[in-house]
Amino acid sequence: MSKPITITKIRTILTSPEKIPLVIVKIETSEPGLYGLGCATFTQRYLAVATAIDEYLTPFLIGRDVSQIEDIWQTCMTSAYWRNGPITNNAVSGIDMALWDIKGKVAGMPVYDLLGGKTREAAAVYRHADGKSLTEVEDNVRNYMEQGLLYIRCQMGGYGGRIDQIKSPEGALPGAYFDPHGYARNTVKLFEHMRNTVGHDIELLHDVHERLAPIEAIRLSKNLEPYRLFFLEDALAPEQVDWFAIMRNQSSTPVAMGELFTHPQEWLPLIQNRLIDFIRCHISTIGGITPAKKLAHLCEAFSVRTAWHGPGDVSPIGHAANLHIDVSSANFGVQEWWGPSDKIQEVFPGTPILKGGYVYPNDKPGLGIDIDEKLAAQFPCDNKDAVKDMWTTARTPDGGAWRP
């Protein structure tokens, strides 16, 4: 019987090529030259995740057999006793993805083959078209259409339709101010304009980003019905998911939900009761590839499709993990895509490539992606950027704090 390959070293690599802190986990093994990479990125609290990995998970895992992915995931999740929070989940995700990367390299197979093989050659993606006016959004949508995009998310003025002129009380605290009622009205106008100008041969999406009270989100969903959105994204906060039953009874606009989910009891009722059409969790924040693939299978049983979260605060390794699950899942819907810069692609060789409206995985073993550590070190993270990231400090005109 051959000697098992074991974990000999775990390191966190913190890098910020685009001024967005990324947390990368590197697991080195007893097999010379064999290592795996994972994404543990929680941009707003990245130092807490790095500490959880360096000070707690690393001593817990040194010497473990790298093939035991399921047992390692389960014991990492329960060894702290308290579980299912964004810090623990992201820390475990970094370990989990790196182990899948290693397993693929040992097998000489891409991770998608380990997950059952391809169900499609590439993943259809959507990009984000914003603008300060109807015509500016239209121009950006047309630009994406010319590039071959088949799905486009439309926003006007950012999340919540933020505007410069808001009358707030004297002494109101700083934040990302927005007018919920004005935002809801303008969003309906936006999609009326888009359908009248670019037509119905392109799939359009919209992200509420929890910027509305539940009853207003339901009203918006109803008012958007004539414009046939591919889906309405994150219309409610995780604390308000009971309202989805009312939304489903009131509107036929497809619903996507899950970006902020960290606990199975947040998504289970929505899936079991068929209250959403797309699940769009942030894979590292639910714990990595292991739980995400299980979640995809659960969704398949209830005809819910996947649309994993894919913004700039997911590392290219995390995007690669999304893609391997996408192409191996029968119930894949669409993938959010941020568009990696040349700088990102230099730091992370093997970053998946967008061609037309599709992103293609490479056929390298594992996740098919690497990191240039010397280059990554040239882009250190700055905790001030994470602490003072004002877009998460949403406020209504009277200065009250709002869930982002």
Active site residues: 159, 209
Q: Which residue has the tokens 């109803």?
A: 222
Q: Which residue has the tokens 């191996």?
A: 328
Buried/exposed code over 366-399 (b: 16+ C-beta within 10 A; e: otherwise): bbbbbbeeeebeebebeeeebeeeeeeebbbbeb
SS3 348: coil
Distance, in Å, from the CA atom of 304 to the CA atom of 171, rounded to the nearest integer, reads: 46
CB 132 within 8 A of CB 157: yes
Non-local (6+) Cβ contacts of 88 within 8 A are 52, 77, 80, 82
Q: What single string gives the DSSP state of each residue in 98-118?
A: HHHHHHHHHHTSBHHHHTT--
Distances (CA, A) of 133 to 4, 124, 198, 202, 268: 60, 27, 15, 20, 39
Pairing of strands 203-207, 151-154: parallel
Class of residue 154 by CB neighbours under 10 A (exposed 0-12, middle 13-18, buried 19+)? buried
SS3 273: coil
Distance, in Å, from the CA atom of 289 to the CA atom of 283, rounded to the nearest integer, reads: 7
The CA angle 244-83-258, to the nearest 5 degrees, is 25
Short-list 36, 84, 23, CA closest to 281 = 84
